[in-house]
Structure 1
Amino acid sequence: MSKIIDRSVDIGEFIPASDDDMIICRCEEITKGEIRKAVHDGMYTMTEIKRYLRAGMGLCQGQTCGKLVKGIVAKELGAPNGELAPGTSRSPVRPVEMKVYGNEIEDRGEKYE
C-alpha cells in the first residue's frame, strides 16, 4: 500500500510557515497555507484537494498551479511527487443563456427557427 493512501500514518500537526500567505492558485485565490492545512485536515490526493479547496478548478484548469499544488501536497506528506496521482481535468462550466437551448438565437436581427 502506498504511503500516501495509508491514512493511519501520522503526518504531524500543522505548523504555520512564513510563506503560507503566498497565492498558489491564482484563479481561485488559494494560498500555500490553505493547501498545507487541507493536507493536515486529511486531504491526501489531488482530487480531494481540488474538491475541498477548488484549487485547479478555475479557468486555467490547473495548468498554472497544478504542479505547485502537487509539490506542496507531496512535501507535506513526505512523499515524492511521482507517488501522487494527478487530479482529473474537466472543461470549465460557463453560464449559457436559455435562448440558446430554445433555439431562439438572434443574429443581426434575424430569428432562427
Structure 2
Amino acid sequence: MNDLSDRSKDIGPFTPAPDDDEIICRCEEITKGEIRRAVHDGLFEIAEIRRFLRCGMGLCQGQTCGRLVKGIVARELGVKPSEMEPATARSPMRPVEMSILGNEQGGARK
C-alpha cells in the first residue's frame, strides 16, 4: 500500500490533456484539469481536494462526482482507487428557510 501522505513523491510534471476542460463536478463546475492540477500541486488526499476546489461540496454532496474525482486523483498518483481513503459521504441537502422550520403545527407563535 502506498503512503499517500508522502509529499516528496515525484509524480512528474503536470501535462495538459485534451479533455482537461471536461466538467467533473457539475454542482461546483470543477473540471478534470483543475483536479489534475491540484494533485500535481501537492494535494494527494480527497479531503484536501474537496476543501481546496469544493468538488463534492455542492448540492449533491459528491453523490454524482465522488467516484470520478477519486478515479482521476488515483490515476494521477499511480495508485488504485481502493488504496485511497474514502470520501466522506453526505446526504444531498437543500437550503430551508427558517420560517418554514418555525411554522410547525402546535408550536407557540408570537
Q: TM-score, normalised by structure 2?
A: 0.83
Q: Identity rate of aligned residues, in percent?
A: 60
- Show structure 1 runs of 5+ residues with no match: none
Runs of 4+ in 1 over 2 A off after TM superposition: 89-97
Q: RMSD between aligned alpha carbons? A: 2.3
Contact 2:25/2:55 (CA < 8 Å) preserved in 1? Answer: yes
Contact 2:63/2:89 (CA < 8 Å) preserved in 1? Answer: no
Greater Cα radius of gyration, structure 1 or 2? 1
Contact 1:50/1:87 (CA < 8 Å) preserved in 2? Answer: no
How far apart, CA to CA, are the structure 2 residues paired with 1:27 and 1:89?
A: 15
Q: TM-score, normalised by structure 1?
A: 0.81
Pairs aligned (count): 107
Matched with 1:33 is 33
How far apart, CA to CA, are the structure 1 residues paired with 2:100 and 2:22?
A: 41
- Show structure 2 runs of 5+ residues with no match: none
How far apart, CA to CA, are the structure 1 residues paired with 2:82 and 2:54?
A: 22
Amino acid in structure 2 at the alignment position of 1:2: N
Matched with 2:77 is 77
How far apart, CA to CA, are the structure 1 residues paired with 2:76 and 2:42?
A: 11
Matched with 2:10 is 10
